[in-house]
């Protein structure tokens, strides 16, 4: 048949278009070029394992990577964590330049500025994963558990954690230990439900939000249920 070759050529030409249409239609897929939420989480798990075991690779920290990322960024995860000097997401997850979009403040608190930064990373940079990571022996949480006057602007941090401490006391057990977990968990839940950007991305299967706690002594990132 005379039309066969041209039909074949047309079919070949359609493959890339079809493939990208599938990527957009697949609810498990992230952006067309980036990893899925599950694959992004796996990258962090593997990096943390290397950090714990002392087999770090220090990926993406070359002059070449710096040059490459100067033109644009496509981080595969957003990490909201505490400003504590004893943890740094790029170190504890063994990542490099352009890998993580990091937002930090004492107590890893949510605010409009924080949520806006995260929305930017999800909507414009297509990050498929958000990790809200508290940590053991968090000074902000300890101050909130202790109560009293913190003084200066630190008081606003303590005030923001009051409901977390109340929830931790209601749960029982070690209040600080519970509060560290509840703080990360509640913030992760709030981000996953945040309108108009994040909740929509979660519903579309393009974004996953997880809570975690970093152990200062062992280097282990505990993923919170």
CB of 44 or CB of 179, closer to Zn ion: 179
CB of 170 to Zn ion, least distance (A): 22
d(CA 140, CA 83): 10
CB of 2 or CB of 153, closer to Zn ion: 153
- Residue 138 touches Zn ion, criterion: CB under 5 A: yes
CB of 159 to Zn ion, least distance (A): 16
CA geometry: angle 172, 177, 178, nearest 5 deg: 45
> In the window 160-219, what residues touch Zn ion (CB under 5 A)?
none
Stretch that binds Zn ion, among 17-25, 137-145, 173-181, 191-199 (CB under 5 A): 137-145
The CA-atom distances, in angstroms, between 70 and each of 44, 66, 88, 223 are: 23, 6, 22, 32
Stretch that binds Zn ion, among 16-24, 30-38, 60-68, 140-148 (CB under 5 A): 140-148
CB of 82 or CB of 202, closer to Zn ion: 82
Number of residues that bind Zn ion (CB under 5 A): 4
d(CA 84, CA 31): 32
CB of 180 to Zn ion, least distance (A): 8
The CA-atom distances, in angstroms, between 222 and each of 91, 112, 141, 209 are: 16, 27, 17, 14
Q: Does 65 sit behind a cis peptide bond, omega within 30 degrees of 0 on the bond before it?
A: no
> In the window 62-101, what residues touch Zn ion (CB under 5 A)?
82, 84
Residue 166 gets the label, from left (phi > 0), alpha (psi -120 to 50) or beta, of: alpha
Handedness of CA 9, 11, 12, 13 (dihedral sign): positive
CB of 153 to Zn ion, least distance (A): 16
CB of 82 or CB of 121, closer to Zn ion: 82
CB of 84 or CB of 90, closer to Zn ion: 84
Contacts to Zn ion by CB under 5 A = 82, 84, 138, 140
């Amino acid at each position: 048949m005379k039309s066969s070759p041209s039909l074949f050529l047309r079919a070949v030409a359609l493959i890339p278009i079809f493939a990208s249409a599938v990527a957009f239609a697949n609810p498990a897929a992230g952006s067309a070029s980036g990893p899925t939420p599950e694959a992004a989480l796996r990258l962090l798990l593997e990096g943390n394992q290397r950090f714990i075991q002392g087999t770090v690779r220090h990926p993406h920290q070359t002059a070449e990577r710096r040059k490459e990322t100067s033109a644009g960024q496509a981080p595969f995860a957003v990490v909201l964590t505490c400003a504590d000097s004893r943890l740094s997401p790029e170190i504890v997850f063994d990542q490099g330049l352009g890998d993580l979009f990091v937002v930090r403040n004492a107590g890893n608190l949510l605010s409009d500025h924080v949520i806006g930064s995260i929305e930017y990373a999800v909507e414009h940079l297509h990050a498929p994963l958000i990790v809200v990571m508290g940590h053991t022996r968090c000074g902000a949480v300890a101050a909130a558990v202790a109560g009293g006057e913190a003084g200066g602007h630190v008081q606003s941090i303590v005030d923001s954690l009051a409901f977390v401490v109340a929830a931790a006391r209601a749960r029982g057990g070690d209040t600080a230990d519970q509060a560290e977990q509840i703080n990360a968990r509640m913030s992760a839940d709030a981000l996953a439900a945040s309108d108009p950007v994040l909740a929509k991305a979660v519903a579309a299967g393009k974004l996953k939000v997880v809570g975690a706690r970093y152990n200062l002594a062992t280097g282990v990132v505990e993923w919170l249920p």
